Amino acid sequence: MTAISERQQRAYIASQAADMRVNVELETEGMTLNIGPQHPATHGTLRIIVKLDGELVVAADPVPGYMHRGYEKLTEVRTYPQVNTLINRIDWLGSFANEVPFILAAEQLMDVEAPPRAQWIRTLLFELSRIANVTLFLGDMAVQLGAVTPVFYAFRDREYVLNLIESATGGRFHPNFDRIGGIKDDLPKGWIAETKQVMVKVNAFCDELEALLLGNEIFNVRTRGIGVIPPEVALSYGMSGANLRASGVDWDHRRDTPVGLVYDKLDWKVWTHPDGDSFARYWVRLQEVREAAKMVIQLCDGLPPGPIMAKVPRIIKVPEGEAWVATENPLGEMGYYVVSKGELVPFRVKIRSASFNNISIVPWLLRGVYVPDVITILASLYFILGDIDR
Amino acid sequence: MIRLSSTDIDNAEGAPATDELRSSLVEGLVAELHDGVVASHLVPGRDVWVRVTADAWESAGRVCRDLLGCTYFCYLSVIDWLPSPFGRSMDSSVDNVLEGVAAKDPEPMTHGVAGGESRFQLIARLYDVNRHVGVNLKVDVPDDTLTMTTWTKLFGGANWHEREAYEMFGITFAGHPSLRKLYLPGDFEGYPLRKDFPLLARMVKPWPGIVDVEAMPGVADDEGGE
């Protein structure tokens, strides 16, 4: 029994290899390698089973679910404000950004609009979350290539941003600051001036990383032309965010459909890259951090006065209906499909998280790459485990 | 609430009364699928829902992708319309004080926008990244077979979403290349996201409940309440 299945397995691998015209003449033996669930290069507990032919990957099968927490079920027994606490934990590096689309969906169903000041502060914290999230990627990507220094810079400068989020919301990682109809509190005194100073540091960090990495020969050899995703494949797998823009698709929810946020009042740019490789994904994210810093400064300058909370009932019942709201989160498009039956709790919440789609392309993408590139490609796709498993 | 025609329009405040872009999507689907489109629902300036027959499910995806420009696969999921059979047992005692202890009558099964006839409904969203417009496609899953045609040939991303729907709701997708469990261990029994799957943690330990809400900033306790 075992002997037969092993033989079948080898035959399968050989046929796969033959299909792709790789390494057949050397007749290397097929091997199944298990990466993870605990592995430094997998950013959490993503397990990947790869079938190898020599150094070439002939098939890759990611096994998610080691961190599945069943949020879609749990939302069905929690009131709308309580759901907010849960969904903070989906993408834990940019927590505030998780709250916004859900709150906007609930507001859409209730026909409530947050006052302008609340919308500005929401956008401000949203972009700070993006900086806190993506700076870590910028450092971490270098670690996967063997350069340890950038990640220390990343942690250092991310700390300033986390301090800002903490002083405004009280939570470093899980702010739980957004409310249906507005936000929880106004910004503390002196926060605006401090934020502008931190943005100078963030810009300096981007310049520093650009000087360190983008011209580096090792970095270029390991990322250029590696893990190329054509735009039509990226769209068919539902990739979004910087991963999609690095494949040359010029689409950003912030610019094109800024529901409930004030991106249309700011001067900024959506960056795309035509190459679709690991380098492009890194480059686009680096520019996005710069744009985010630019936006934060404009948001600080233009912050309108006024109330931060619309009039909403103390006990929130959301009228019957269905709403879909998506925003451009640090990792890509994040959306909630909320079905309400007019009760205190949602009837059904479908959480569409960016990393789930972004990582579902891995079986397609890793076929035919070399083992060391598996690590850089995974790092360049940039996923958060909580965002895959939910 | 069942709306059966695209002319039945909810007028959202401030939104235009007509939405040519979104209605052209509905018209495009009707022109290709004819009787395959059962119902549609359009909120101008916001979103559009189209419900198709089970037979037309695959061609609906193909029409959206090839003819209507909706090439971006957003997600695919399932809605279980069965009212929760556990009634108020999932509520905390605090909630019962506020709302009254009396058990509610079992509600009839109602469907959301664009209507429905079966317990399980598949919902998928496709998006056009050039025109910035999306369409929500719904389909009734036949109650007896719980089987639907796969979309994996159309969209690579459907693979994982269908595996998730399979393990969470028990919907089978005919033609799926490897319909295995995605998150759950292989020997897991039951379909967790179905409404009749009990959430044991909640049944064992009561939840603090809805009284546990803080006052809104700048609003006195007696204001704004229901």
Identify the pLDDT of residue A224: 87
pLDDT over 70 percentage in chain A: 91
A237 touches chain B (CB under 8 A): yes
Q: Which two tokens stand for residue B146?
A: 């719980």
Nearest by Cα to A386 from A133, A65, A118? A65
Identify the pLDDT of residue B75: 92
Q: How confident is the model at residue B17 (pLDDT cuts 50, 70, 90)?
A: low
d(CA A76, CA B84): 10
Annotated domain spans of chain B:
8-88+108-188
Identify the pLDDT of residue B223: 45
Identify the pLDDT of residue A139: 86
Q: What is the pTM of this model?
A: 0.83
Q: How many CB atoms lie within 10 A of CB A29?
A: 10
The minimum CA-CA distance between A289 and chain B, rounded to whole Å, is 23
Whether residues A237 and B132 touch (CB distance < 8 A) is answered with: no
Q: How confident is the model at residue A2 (pLDDT cuts 50, 70, 90)?
A: very low
Whether residues A238 and B213 touch (CB distance < 8 A) is answered with: no
A343 touches chain B (CB under 8 A): no
Shortest CA distance from A78: residue in chain B: B209
Q: How confident is the model at residue A280 (pLDDT cuts 50, 70, 90)?
A: very high
Residue among A257, A314, A337 minimizing CB distance to B123 = A337
Place of tokens 């009131």: A79
Residue A361 contacts residue A239 (beta carbons within 8 Å): yes
Q: How confident is the model at residue A39 (pLDDT cuts 50, 70, 90)?
A: low
What's the CATH number for B8-88+108-188? Answer: 3.30.460.80
Which residues of chain B make contact with A86, given a CB cutoff of 8 A?
none
Whether the upstream peptide bond of residue A37 has omega within 30° of 0, thus cis, is yes
Nearest by Cα to A71 from B36, B45, B193? B193
d(CA A336, CA A385): 18
Structure-model confidence comparison of residues A368 and B214, the more confident one: A368
Which residues of chain B make contact with A312, given a CB cutoff of 8 A?
216, 224
Q: Over 50: is that where the pLDDT of B141 sits?
A: yes
d(CA A140, CA A146): 10
d(CA A268, CA A135): 19
Alpha carbon B136 to chain centroid distance? 9
pLDDT over 90 percentage in chain A: 24
Task: Using DSSP, state whether B187 is helix, strand or coil.
Answer: coil
Rounded mean pLDDT, B221-225 = 46
Task: List pLDDT tens digits, range A104-152.
Answer: 999 988 888 889 999 999 999 999 999 999 998 888 888 888 888 888 8
Q: How confident is the model at residue A28 (pLDDT cuts 50, 70, 90)?
A: low
Place of tokens 């405004």: A168
The interface predicted TM-score of the complex, written ipTM, equals 0.82
Rounded mean pLDDT, A46-73 = 84
Which residues of chain A make contact with B224, given a CB cutoff of 8 A?
311-314
The backbone torsions φ and ψ at residue A172, rounded to the nearest 5 degrees and listed phi first, read -75, -45
Identify the pLDDT of residue A314: 76
